[in-house]
Structure 1
Amino acid sequence: MEKTTQIYGIRAIIEAVNSNEEIDKVFIQKGLKGDLIKELERLLRQKDISAVYVPVEKLNRLTKNNHQGAVANISPISFVSLDDLIEISNTKDKPALFLLLDQLSDVRNFGAIIRTAECTGVDGIIIQKKGAAPVTADTIKTSAGAAFKVPIAKVDHLKDAVFYLQASGIKIVSATEKTNTSVYDVSYAGPIAIVMGSEDRGITPSIIKVSDYTAKIPLQGEIASLNVSVACAVFLYEAVRQRLAL
């Protein structure tokens, strides 16, 4: 079920944090003073929730309501644990297919990737708690509702998730231009997790280093790279093609 994607007011946000709502980010007015805002800041630190300090004009653009100096973005979906993702995949009669998104920042790219993931039978998407694009109303719209169908897990550190997946018998394929191996030369027949990087920096080097395979998409034109959602589709449909041939 879709939930509200925004709450406003310091007391309301404090209540949401204490109720363990899935809060992606809190915007706080710069220079705000008082015991209530200190309590909110303490809770955000305790729960490891991202806070951004912005001018009041930014808050006024975020909501027309009386924000009292704070606005929070709430995820419209519920997240699952990494353990749950693996358990779900183990109940299926096909090899696991996961997608890890390393610091993807654009919500529409995120939505487009979720849509493709649903169409290609991805068992789950894994993102990092900090630095990842939030699931917003725009994400839901771009995903054509697929965000309610594909399980998504949030983890503290993506590299730790890589190690956990590998320990569970799942091979890691990182999509990077810094390799000589083509996307078409890697086997996706077994349990696989594909890692896609951020729009501007790609995959974190430490994650590439511990991956089982690296692969790139051969480009024939003059432009050096594809949009990340398009690149993701190429990888996922190569996995589908190989699996259909089995």
Structure 2
Amino acid sequence: MEETTRIFGIRAVIEAIQGGKSIDKIYIQKGLSGPLFQELNRLIQKNNYNTSYVPEEKLYKLSKGNHQGVVATISPIKFGNLEETIEKILEEKTTPLFLLLDQITDVRNFGAIIRTAECTGVDAIIIPEKGGAPLNADTVKTSAGGVFNLPIVKVSHIKDAVFYLQSSGVQLVAATEKTEDNIYDVDFKQASAIIMGNEAKGVSNSILKAVDKKAKLPMFGKIESLNVSVACGVFLYEAIRQRQLS
């Protein structure tokens, strides 16, 4: 899986982009220059790819060979379009369940969340183009293949998805400790989208201001928070519990 989801070299990455490959992330050697790099940079800017400028040692670790200053990871799946995906789901279901991930950075958390989402019947997962964990071989493995069983959509900004879902009649619920409202007081029997935040920072403040509901999990121990993938599982199964009782 690792070998098939990485490509090395400026020309190879340019050809992958022009060939319509689903690029997940591009690693570029710091200080790289030249006409071929300028061509690649124009394509990166045009398509708004997730990029990282790294030391040459990092590229050697990724490529184990002649990287020519650039390594790109190719997603094992093709990401869906936001509007098309949501419209299709809303046509088929009256009370869909969506999951938005606001910059989850750990690939194993990402994979575990996808696995739980697939098991709980989530209709689509929405992630940002930049700032989140890559969908790589580790993600696929941790998801137990769940990445292949439900739509995953990439958006420029999670707020774009928030506003579009709200305009489509979907309730937006943010999982956050920055509220007095309890998860068990939220009505998940309606069309809903749950937002899980970054492992360290949680859901960003700008998104918290835009959502319909904020909810927290009751905590009784000395540790103040759960791992994000565990917390996500609790939220999803509470939604399922309510829907099965209705």
TM-score range, shorter chain: over 0.9
Number of residue pairs the alignment of both structures matches: 246
The aligned amino acid for 1:184 is Y
Q: Deviation digits for residues 101-156 of structure 1, max 9, x if unmatched?
A: 00111111010000000010100001111112111100000000000001001111
* Aligned-partner Cα distance in 2 for 1:31–1:81: 34
* Aligned-partner Cα distance in 2 for 1:159–1:98: 14
CA shift, 1:20, in A, is 2.4
Q: TM-score, normalised by structure 1?
A: 0.95
SS in 2 for 1:210: coil
- Whether 1:146 and 2:146 are equivalent positions in the alignment is yes
CA shift, 1:91, in A, is 4.1
Q: Show the counterpart of 2:75.
A: 75
* Aligned-partner Cα distance in 1 for 2:149–2:89: 14
* Aligned-partner Cα distance in 2 for 1:67–1:160: 35
- My pick for the range that moved more, 215-224 or 87-96, is 87-96
CA shift, 1:75, in A, is 0.8
Listed as ranges, the gaps of 5+ residues in structure 2 are none
Q: Show the counterpart of 2:57.
A: 57
| Paired residues of 2:107 and 2:133 also in contact (CA < 8 A) | yes
Listed as ranges, the gaps of 5+ residues in structure 1 are none
SS in 1 for 2:4: coil
CA shift, 1:42, in A, is 1.9
Alignment of 1:201-240 (within 5 A): 201-240=201-240
| Paired residues of 1:3 and 1:76 also in contact (CA < 8 A) | no
> What is the root-mean-square deviation in Å for CA atoms of aligned residues?
1.7
* Aligned-partner Cα distance in 2 for 1:195–1:3: 33
* Aligned-partner Cα distance in 1 for 2:3–2:123: 23
CA shift, 1:4, in A, is 2.8
* Aligned-partner Cα distance in 2 for 1:207–1:159: 6
CA shift, 1:73, in A, is 1.0
| Paired residues of 1:59 and 1:69 also in contact (CA < 8 A) | yes
- Whether 1:118 and 2:118 are equivalent positions in the alignment is yes
- Compared CA separation, residues 238 and 206, structure 1 to 2 (3 A): same
The aligned amino acid for 1:167 is S
CA shift, 1:90, in A, is 2.4
- My pick for the range that moved more, 186-195 or 21-30, is 21-30
* Aligned-partner Cα distance in 2 for 1:95–1:117: 16
* Aligned-partner Cα distance in 1 for 2:184–2:171: 16
Q: Show the counterpart of 2:188.
A: 188
Q: Deviation digits for residues 42-86 of structure 1, max 9, x if unmatched?
A: 221122113222222111111123211111011111111112322
| Paired residues of 1:88 and 1:123 also in contact (CA < 8 A) | no
| Paired residues of 2:10 and 2:69 also in contact (CA < 8 A) | yes
The aligned amino acid for 2:100 is L
- Structure 1 segments, 4+ long, off by >4 Å, are none
